[in-house]
Chain A
Amino acid sequence: MKNLRTIILFAFHCTLLTATAQIGAPYIHDPSTIVECDGKYFTFGTGGGGLISDDGWTWRSGGVRPGGGAAPDAMKIGDRYLVIYGATGGGLFGNHNGRILTMWNKSLDPQSPDFKYTDAIEVASSDGMEDCDAIDPSLLLDPTTGRLWASYGTYWGSIRLIELDPKTAERVQGNVEQDIAIDCEASALIYRDGWYYLLGTHGTCCDGVNSTYNIVVGRSKSVTGPYLDNVGRDMLKGGGRMVLSAGDRVTGPGHFGRTVIDEGVEIMSCHYEADFDMGGRSVLGIRPLLWKNGWPYAGERFHDGTFEIESERRGYSLELGVDFVRIAQERQNFRRVDPNEPVKPVPNQQLADVVSTWPTGEIAIRCSDYMFRPHQHWTITAVPEAGGYLGGPYFKITIAGTERALAATQDLELTSVPQYNGSDEQLWRIEQLTDGTYRLMPKRIPGQKEINTKYVIYSAGDSTPTLAEYDFNSDNSKWNLKRR
């Protein structure tokens, strides 16, 4: 990152809650990959501090990372946490003398008695004259070989790859740094399904709402490259396929990090240079990470709205188990249609047309052909005060125009209750899966003590939704949310 690198983190009480950005005080630049420690989530940023979240949704300052400098990364190896950071400013003082250091901690939580960083060890540097600025490091522990790699660098020269010893986080003896990309910074390395991916941040940072920062990717069958984009262009020639750019009232996504929550449930963390809804500040961003044809791309931030909830299994729609109310229609014999007679649109069936026919107590839930009828339209609304999970708040799911809420039952079935009351079995965790479908998970099963992380809405049969254990390899676990 050029010139101004240091972002000052303000302790800031945010009273304006929006359901789409991370809430609390998620002010950060260059967030490290989100790491879980002792049930809390941590990310470190440029400058020194970091963010902590108890639930992955509400963030506060309070992370502690000594050493200053720019753009750290963190990961868990064994029972320890490894932090890598650039101790310098990336041209902040007019030079490109960079240093990359590693250090360990048994905990990331400053409250933990185990919280104590080891002495930092230098693993790479740039001398100010060479075509490299040794800041912005990221880590990859190769799951196929157990070898530990780090990439680092900025626009000022190349992105370089080095190998570290996973036991000590020292540089492997005799390892020579290798150029793997140009034209980006805040790089990240990930491995998935036989491919190594190098993510870089392209564009211009640190220009507020006008920042053009964006995240691009190339991939390789070897960790040492060449990393090619979707048209075969080497990242050493500036190649890169877009993963995420501006949109949805945020600009300048940068500093990619991938966190796998569950099989088929992945998120990417980044910062937005400016969140228009947060006064144009630089904030933590968390998006679903989707995969298509071997390429990663960012999912949409989920916004409140009214949806059809359609099963991936059959394409049937989640609905109230009420009698189908036919729409009256003046039917014409098609052989006697008068082409000169004006066309009269048929109005949609309205809630008021049918609601009186519904029972007033609990109504069972089933799936059926989607006919865009009121008993098939669900309004999904964030409930920020109910807390959240990594990347999102809990939602209530109500029949559009009513307070009739979808709820989990003690015996792992679905029902609807006439009046939403905010209880945990009426709150839903909604996550976009890597294939673009969604899973919907009640916050708590009545009678169970723990927060539910297992049971999702599940197609027991084409017409019969239930709650069952999430299985990414079964379409029964998956739903499409279609905005209506």
Chain B
Amino acid sequence: MFMLGFPLAITAQNPFIHNQFAADPTARVFNNRVYVYPSHDIVPPEGARKDWFCMGDYHVFSSENLTDWVDHGVILDQKDVQWGNPQGFSMWAPDCVEKNGKYYFYFPNGQKIGRGFGIGVATANRPEGPFTCEPEPIKGVSGIDPCVLMDTDGQSYIYWSGMGIRGAKLKSNMLEVDGELQTMTMPQRQGGNGQQGPAPTFTVAGQQMEGLPDGFKEGPFVFRRGDWYYLTFPWVRGDTSNGANPTETLAYAMSKNPLGPWDFKGIIMAEHANHCWTNHHSILEFKGQWYIFYHHNDYSPRDDKRRSPCIDKISFRPDGTIVEVKPTLRGVGVSAATSRIDVDRYSIASSDVANDIIDSLNGFRGLYATLPSKSSWLTYNDVDFSGLHTGAYLSVCVKAAANTALVLREGNAKGKVIARVPVTVISQMGNFRRDMSGHWLTLTAPLEYVPKGVTNLCVTSEGDGLSIDWLKFKNRPDYFVPITSPTARPDDQGFIRRWMLLEPIDNPEANSNLIFSYAYLQEHLANKSNLPKPMPAMPKDGQKVKIGKQSLAWHAMESGTYNVRLFRFADLLQKATYRVCFWAVTTIDCPEDIPNVRLAAGSNGASMWWIEPAEGRTSENDNPVLILDSDRRMVADDGMSARLTLKKGRNIIRCAVVNGPGLSDFCVRFIDEKGNPVTNYEIKN
């Protein structure tokens, strides 16, 4: 499916939109994708009321897995609504439904003339638009928070909030309410401003929904499950006397009829713990699971008019009633191990774990969790490890006041250790003292154990406390690729990628590449004091040699790149990478004598190169064909042998590369007189 939109870098947790505020999330399934149509809270611009809701346009977001979300951008702006106030910033909770391949987007907006809200319709051929706005709002629907129910018999209903919650049948054109309009008198407000004169009248469609409890209600969302219709709505249940200001719950009523009367059943979600005044929701079934979408002011803790959307699972009892939902930080969906996992959105945690916002001026930088002591822990459920390759490692973003360690386990605080991350914030090297206490640090660690499939993670602090923002598992590049054929050819540019590599030989004196003078190489490499003994003409994969006190194995390796990453070879084997000497050997099989070619090599650090016949080294071919001495970097075609002839049949190419503190590698090919690569031979090992 072609998708016009921007993938959001962070995958879902609660809240699941991270780059902007988004409230009143109405979620719908179209074409096996979930589309979320929220209202779009913004920080009020100059001239707008600072402490009030401010929404001037709508975005739509979609996902195929409730984890990876795409922002399709603005689908409707207040300037595009002919009947609306272009500077009203009153584009409140919308809805969108599909009928016969057409998408109907219902939205409230302040009127251009007069007071109060109308509800408009915009239509499109695709769920993400472009939408075309009808020139007039729906007649007789005066209020906010439209919701449309598409019943199984083809009849559609619209519900909205305006002097209580009302519902009405929609005509089949989806643009008009079916039935007579009634004339009503505007109710007098208690404690009004004492205006005199007759109360104004207006026309209204549909009917009041009966059977709902007293107390402030808005945001109706009606859905059908089996034979039951559910009218769900934000509801203030608390005592408002004596100036108290209780906040909204999500509540519901059930009926066998789409327009009631309704049987009130109670609470779906209790009031937000932090006094975020509003909540507003939608409920849907997706791939066999029911979900509730709602909002909370996670990224704006000091201003509850800027809200962000969340998802949790919701379930029903056999009698159809709803099990109360406890909002989670974790949300829903499976997180790929290789995605950024915001573990401050934990599933459960020890009671001392606390959450805080990273940057109070920019909530979109997210939150972090603090594990204050050695016994603190948090778990994060449903992480998929199937995308991890051999050699993957852990990356964590943490801060600490003192040196400590983070341990990541599988399952729970006593689970198997996946990785240990030393959090060293204060260190000393000679006269240089580094104090990174209180700074966010991105740290890495190799994995001791790689879980399989989908599992739960547990973060523990093994020393003093620490704070964590996120973690992710990172695959390494394909430095080496599996060997799948008995022979290989040089690559298009002539580079030889298949080698037998010997595990690194310790060379403790090589603190710096500067020591690798010609004389040094002669002594340590050419004169064989560092040579594997006995040097096999062509070693076999797994064959071991003893060098000094080290017992080292040869490994058949094929490089994924033109250069052979010796450092990464050692690193993969968890061997020493610095202050070492590497040996590499390969055989090439030439169909005929190839005269007048040069061996062209580059290496980091210094290197020596030999070409030998298949029988192995003799005194005649003991002289290297090329020496790259001193502090070398791996530059392709850095040094060349004198012109030489590759003999018909087997030739052994052998090299030694010494490394001090570098990211050691080499590249080698044969080139002809004109500098073109030689490729007419096979590599056999």
Give me the interface of A with B, judged by CB distance under 8 Å. Answer: 2-3, 6, 89, 91-94, 97, 99, 125, 127-131, 155-157, 173-174, 182-183, 202-204, 207, 210, 212, 233, 237-239
Chain B residue at minimum C-beta to C-beta distance from A202: B633
Residues of chain B contacted by A173 (CB below 8 angstroms): 6, 9, 19
Residues of chain B contacted by A131 (CB below 8 angstroms): 477, 663
Residues of chain A contacted by B476 (CB below 8 angstroms): 129-130
Choose one: A125, A155, A174, A237; the contact of B442 (CB below 8 Å). Answer: A125
B662 at the interface (CB under 8 A from A): yes
Q: How far is the CB of B32 from chain A (nearest CB, A)?
A: 25
B680 at the interface (CB under 8 A from A): no
Choose one: B444, B638, B661; the contact of A128 (CB below 8 Å). Answer: B444
Could you tell me if A6 and B661 are in contact, using CB atoms closer than 8 angstroms?
no
Could you tell me if A174 and B6 are in contact, using CB atoms closer than 8 angstroms?
yes
Could you tell me if B429 and A92 are in contact, using CB atoms closer than 8 angstroms?
yes
Q: How far is the CA of A92 from the CA of B436 in the complex (A)?
A: 14
A-B contact pairs, 15 of them (CB 8 A): A93-B429, A99-B442, A125-B442, A127-B443, A127-B444, A129-B476, A155-B633, A174-B7, A210-B514, A212-B631, A233-B636, A237-B667, A238-B635, A238-B636, A238-B638
Q: How far is the CA of A31 from the CA of B477 in the complex (A)?
A: 33
Could you tell me if B442 and A239 are in contact, using CB atoms closer than 8 angstroms?
no
**Interface membership of chain B positions 465-486, coded 1 if the CB is closer than 8 angstroms to chain A and 0 otherwise:** 0000000001011000000000
Could you tell me if A238 and B633 are in contact, using CB atoms closer than 8 angstroms?
yes
B234 at the interface (CB under 8 A from A): no
B395 at the interface (CB under 8 A from A): yes
Q: How far is the CA of A183 from the CA of B634 in the complex (A)?
A: 7
Chain B residue at minimum C-beta to C-beta distance from A212: B631
Q: How far is the CA of A202 from the CA of B513 in the complex (A)?
A: 14
Q: How far is the CA of A237 from the CA of B7 in the complex (A)?
A: 33
Q: How far is the CA of A176 from the CA of B474 in the complex (A)?
A: 15
Q: How far is the CB of B199 from chain A (nearest CB, A)?
A: 52
Give me the interface of B with A, judged by CB distance under 8 Å. Answer: 6-7, 9, 19, 393, 395, 427, 429, 432, 434, 441-444, 474, 476-477, 513-514, 562, 602, 631, 633-638, 661-663, 667
Could you tell me if A129 and B19 are in contact, using CB atoms closer than 8 angstroms?
no
Chain A residue at minimum C-beta to C-beta distance from B660: A2
Could you tell me if A204 and B395 are in contact, using CB atoms closer than 8 angstroms?
no
Q: How far is the CB of B588 from chain A (nearest CB, A)?
A: 21
Could you tell me if B442 and A127 are in contact, using CB atoms closer than 8 angstroms?
yes
Chain A binding surface SS class:
loop
Q: How far is the CA of A3 from the CA of B631 in the complex (A)?
A: 14
Closest CB pairs A-B (n = 7): A238-B635, A237-B636, A183-B633, A129-B444, A204-B631, A127-B444, A127-B395
Q: Known A-B contacts: A174-B6, A207-B514, A233-B637. Give 11 more (CB < 8 A).
A: A91-B661, A92-B429, A128-B444, A129-B395, A129-B444, A131-B477, A182-B633, A202-B633, A204-B513, A238-B634, A239-B635
Q: How far is the CB of B141 from chain A (nearest CB, A)?
A: 38
Could you tell me if A155 and B662 are in contact, using CB atoms closer than 8 angstroms?
yes
Residues of chain A contacted by B395 (CB below 8 angstroms): 127, 129
Choose one: A99, A174, A183; the contact of B635 (CB below 8 Å). Answer: A183
Q: How far is the CB of A221 from chain B (nearest CB, A)?
A: 22
Residues of chain B contacted by A128 (CB below 8 angstroms): 442-444
Q: How far is the CA of A131 from the CA of B567 in the complex (A)?
A: 10
Could you tell me if A155 and B19 are in contact, using CB atoms closer than 8 angstroms?
no
Q: How far is the CA of A38 from the CA of B246 in the complex (A)?
A: 58
Q: How far is the CA of A6 from the CA of B429 in the complex (A)?
A: 12
Chain B residue at minimum C-beta to C-beta distance from A132: B663
Could you tell me if A93 and B434 are in contact, using CB atoms closer than 8 angstroms?
yes
Q: How far is the CA of A41 from the CA of B642 in the complex (A)?
A: 51
Choose one: B432, B442, B602, B631; the contact of A92 (CB below 8 Å). Answer: B432
Residues of chain A contacted by B474 (CB below 8 angstroms): 127, 129-130
Residues of chain A contacted by B631 (CB below 8 angstroms): 203-204, 212
Q: How far is the CB of A359 from chain B (nearest CB, A)?
A: 62
Chain A residue at minimum C-beta to C-beta distance from B675: A231
Residues of chain A contacted by B633 (CB below 8 angstroms): 155, 182-183, 202, 238
Q: How far is the CA of A447 from the CA of B636 in the complex (A)?
A: 61
Q: How far is the CA of A436 from the CA of B6 in the complex (A)?
A: 50
Choose one: B562, B661, B662; the contact of A237 (CB below 8 Å). Answer: B562
- On whether A157 and B663 interact (CB within 8 A), knowing A129-B444, A183-B633, A233-B636, the answer reads yes
Residues of chain A contacted by B443 (CB below 8 angstroms): 97, 127-128
Chain B residue at minimum C-beta to C-beta distance from A158: B663
Choose one: A97, A156, A212, A238; the contact of B663 (CB below 8 Å). Answer: A156
Residues of chain A contacted by B514 (CB below 8 angstroms): 204, 207, 210
Q: How far is the CA of A155 from the CA of B395 in the complex (A)?
A: 22
Q: How far is the CA of A97 from the CA of B393 in the complex (A)?
A: 14
Instruction: Tell me which of B432, B513, B635 has the highest count of chain A C-beta atoms within 10 A of its own C-beta.
Output: B635
Residues of chain B contacted by A155 (CB below 8 angstroms): 633, 662-663
Residues of chain B contacted by A89 (CB below 8 angstroms): 434
Q: How far is the CB of A241 from chain B (nearest CB, A)?
A: 12
Q: How far is the CA of A174 from the CA of B7 in the complex (A)?
A: 8
Q: How far is the CA of A271 from the CA of B513 in the complex (A)?
A: 22
Q: How far is the CB of B590 from chain A (nearest CB, A)?
A: 25
Q: How far is the CA of A127 from the CA of B444 in the complex (A)?
A: 6
Chain B residue at minimum C-beta to C-beta distance from A157: B663
Could you tell me if B634 and A6 are in contact, using CB atoms closer than 8 angstroms?
no
Q: How far is the CA of A207 from the CA of B662 in the complex (A)?
A: 16
Q: How far is the CB of B478 from chain A (nearest CB, A)?
A: 12
Could you tell me if A2 and B661 are in contact, using CB atoms closer than 8 angstroms?
yes
Could you tell me if B6 and A97 are in contact, using CB atoms closer than 8 angstroms?
no
Q: How far is the CA of A212 from the CA of B513 in the complex (A)?
A: 12
Q: How far is the CA of A239 from the CA of B631 in the complex (A)?
A: 17
Chain B residue at minimum C-beta to C-beta distance from A96: B663
Could you tell me if B634 and A129 are in contact, using CB atoms closer than 8 angstroms?
no
Q: How far is the CB of A62 from chain B (nearest CB, A)?
A: 24
Q: How far is the CB of B39 from chain A (nearest CB, A)?
A: 22
Residues of chain A contacted by B562 (CB below 8 angstroms): 237
Q: How far is the CA of A207 from the CA of B630 in the complex (A)?
A: 14
Q: How far is the CA of A99 from the CA of B667 in the complex (A)?
A: 30
Residues of chain A contacted by B637 (CB below 8 angstroms): 233
Choose one: B9, B427, B636, B663; the contact of A239 (CB below 8 Å). Answer: B636
Q: How far is the CB of B132 from chain A (nearest CB, A)?
A: 29
Chain B residue at minimum C-beta to C-beta distance from A92: B432
Q: How far is the CA of A92 from the CA of B429 in the complex (A)?
A: 9
Q: How far is the CA of A136 from the CA of B163 in the complex (A)?
A: 64
Q: How far is the CA of A91 from the CA of B476 in the complex (A)?
A: 20
Residues of chain B contacted by A91 (CB below 8 angstroms): 661
Q: How far is the CA of A97 from the CA of B398 in the complex (A)?
A: 13
Chain A residue at minimum C-beta to C-beta distance from B6: A174
Chain A residue at minimum C-beta to C-beta distance from B636: A237
Instruction: Tell me which of A6, A89, A204 has the highest count of chain B C-beta atoms within 10 A of its own C-beta.
Output: A204
